[in-house]
Amino acid sequence: MNPHNKSIEELKDIASQVRRDIVRMVHAVNSGHPGGSLGCTDYFVSLYFKIMNYSTDFKMNGEGEDLFFLSNGHISPVWYSTLARAGFFDIKELATFRKLNSRLQGHPATEEGLEGIRIASGSLGQGLSVAVGAAQVKKLNKDNNLVYVLMGDGEVEEGQVWEAAMYAAHHKVDNIIATIDLNGQQIDGSTEEVMDLGDLRKKFEAFGWTVLETSGNNFETLIPGLEQAKAETGKGKPVMLLMHTEMGYGVDFMMGSHKWHGVAPNDEQLEIALQQLMVKHASDY
């Protein structure tokens, strides 16, 4: 059971709240990664408020619940906001993001004991391996819950991703749903310019995965896309959901450009962003 199980209308409200948290968090410390965070907001909100079976009473071993791993750890703002809004820790703690003595490190970590996080990530390409290992243990433990993992599209330039992809198919790890955030951008430019990823659908199909595609910035297609991915589990193959998003989604001047990968808005830009993201909730931290 999802502890919230919200309607699509409610998901939209939560997503705009999370997006406001994101721009505030990165603005407050003048650092962090708003672009990918805004682009993946609807995915995080879908998982934590609709799709995943979990408890906010966090337990590291995750037995009896779905697990989520973030491999592209730099989009930590969206994860932290979603976790706080879902009830893992106090929303006020978002104000400590990237500050000294905070549990909300620049990239996600377990060292400070932040609820909801099971592995450190940031150095790219490692999360799929971790998720596949966790999924195999679920099978060993006869735990029928699923393992979700998100990667960036630029991230699949790391070779370890393909080691893990080959392994997951060989070992028939069919209780995992991996998602790649296809926003087409990375730090130095578009993925097409920097390192053309080619046809990821064909590549993952050739590696033995079931591959699905969905829009990642539209709940009307994202929720059915995730439900379809769930329906494809348990069939002997790992499941890949290629998710088309727009970097910076929701803030017009951040959209569609790699320039907002790792840059924070200034005071004026923050105000414009917040207006576009409908400031109205009393619960804003």
Partner 1 sequence: MKDFPFTEKKDTRSGFGAGLLELGRTNPNVVGLCADLTGSLKMDAFQKEFPERFFQVGIAEANMMGLAAGMTIGGKIPFTGTFANFSTGRVYDQIRQSIAYSGKNVKICASHAGLTLGEDGATHQILEDLGMMRMLPHMTVINPCDYNQTKAATIAIADHEGPVYLRFGRPVIPNFTPADQKFEIGKALILNEGTDVSIFATGHLVWKAILAGHILAEKGINAEIINIHTIKPLDAEAILKSVAKTGCAVTAEEHNRFGGLGDAVAQVLISNTPVPQEYVAVNDTFGESGTPDQLMEKYGLTENDIVAAVERAISRKK
CB of 63 to partner 1, least distance (A): 6
Measure the CA–CA gap between 149 and 217, rounded to whole angstroms: 18
Determine if 128 is a binding residue for partner 1 (CB under 8 A): yes
Q: What angle do CA 75, 187, 254 make, to 5 degrees?
A: 65
Measured from the CB atom, is 47 or 130 closer to partner 1? 130
Determine if 240 is a binding residue for partner 1 (CB under 8 A): no
Phi/psi of residue 67, each to 5°? -115, 150
Structure tokens at 244: 């088309």
Structure tokens at 88: 């893992």
Measured from the CB atom, is 109 or 226 closer to partner 1? 109
Determine if 208 is a binding residue for partner 1 (CB under 8 A): no
Contact 46, 222 (CB under 8 A): yes
What residues pair up with 215 in beta bridges, in sequence order? 244
Determine if 264 is a binding residue for partner 1 (CB under 8 A): no
Site string for partner 1, 170-189 (x = CB under 8 A): xx------------------
> Which residue in 9, 111, 220, 267 binds partner 1 (CB under 8 A)?
111
Measured from the CB atom, is 162 or 285 closer to partner 1? 162
Determine if 235 is a binding residue for partner 1 (CB under 8 A): no
What b/e readout covers 230-242, taking b as 16+ CB neighbours within 10 angstroms? bebbeeebbbbbb
CB of 166 to partner 1, least distance (A): 7
Determine if 164 is a binding residue for partner 1 (CB under 8 A): yes
Give the binding range for partner 1 (CB under 8 A) out of 17-25, 86-94, 107-115, 265-273.
Answer: 107-115
Q: How far is CA 283 from CA 69, 124, 163, in A?
A: 27, 34, 44
Contact 78, 22 (CB under 8 A): yes
Give the distance, in angstroms, between the CA of residue 42 and the centroid of all CA atoms in the same chain.
9
Measure the CA–CA gap between 153 and 265, rounded to whole angstroms: 24
Residue 104 per-residue DSSP state: S
Measured from the CB atom, is 137 or 263 closer to partner 1? 137
Determine if 140 is a binding residue for partner 1 (CB under 8 A): yes
Contact 72, 82 (CB under 8 A): no
Tell how strand 176-182 and strand 189-190 pair up. Answer: unpaired
Cβ-based neighbours of 195, under 8 Å, separated by 6 or more: 154, 157, 186
Determine if 5 is a binding residue for partner 1 (CB under 8 A): no
Give the binding range for partner 1 (CB under 8 A) out of 112-120, 186-194, 211-219, 258-266.
Answer: 112-120
By CB under 8 A, the count of residues binding partner 1 is: 40
CB of 130 to partner 1, least distance (A): 4
Determine if 30 is a binding residue for partner 1 (CB under 8 A): no
Determine if 143 is a binding residue for partner 1 (CB under 8 A): yes
Tell how strand 189-190 and strand 185-186 pair up. Answer: antiparallel
Determine if 159 is a binding residue for partner 1 (CB under 8 A): yes
CB of 22 to partner 1, least distance (A): 24
What does the binding site for partner 1 look like in residue numbers (CB under 8 A)? 60-63, 67, 69, 109-111, 118-123, 125-138, 140-141, 143, 159-160, 163-164, 166-167, 170-171
